[in-house]
């Protein structure tokens, strides 16, 4: 095999590796996007749950009972979010980045 043939073979292998890496990166990005959408739906569901529980606690007459209800609700939500983050770390990272971006844009105004 000549030097030029070896050079071309190496170049072809490098191009193949670059293409493989590009395809895998694209697959990871697609997966992160889909997990981000699923995580977003779960976060919205958790937010609705928080709102419902807060409304119930607010309507409660006893302040001590309200405090205990809010604390238990926040604990349950925290545990739920920790589980979701462990199950879908890329999706959680995407949601956190989106939230950070929104807060960043809002703070610049």
pLDDT at 90 exceeding the cut of 80: yes
* Predicted local distance difference test score (pLDDT) of residue 69: 81
Which tokens in the block code for residue 20? 């493989």
**pLDDT confidence of 62, banded at 50, 70, 90?**
low
- pTM for the model stands at 0.35
CB 58 within 8 Å of CB 66? yes
Question: What phi-psi label fits residue 51: left (phi over 0), alpha (psi between -120 and 50 degrees) or beta?
Answer: alpha
For residue 37, give every residue at least 6 positions away whose Cβ sits within 8 Å of its Cβ, in sequence order, or none.
Answer: 91
CB 91 within 8 Å of CB 107? no
Task: Determine the average pLDDT of the residues in 67-76.
Answer: 84
């Amino acid at each position: 095999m000549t030097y030029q043939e070896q050079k071309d073979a190496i170049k072809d292998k490098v191009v193949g590796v670059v293409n493989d890496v590009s395809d895998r990166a694209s697959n990871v990005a697609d997966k992160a996007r889909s997990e981000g959408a699923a995580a977003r739906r779960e976060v919205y569901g958790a937010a609705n749950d928080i709102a419902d529980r807060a409304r119930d606690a607010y309507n409660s007459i006893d302040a001590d009972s309200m405090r205990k209800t809010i604390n238990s609700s926040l604990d349950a939500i925290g545990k739920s979010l920790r589980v979701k983050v462990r199950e879908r770390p890329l999706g959680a990272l995407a949601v956190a980045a989106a939230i950070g971006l929104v807060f960043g844009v809002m703070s610049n105004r």
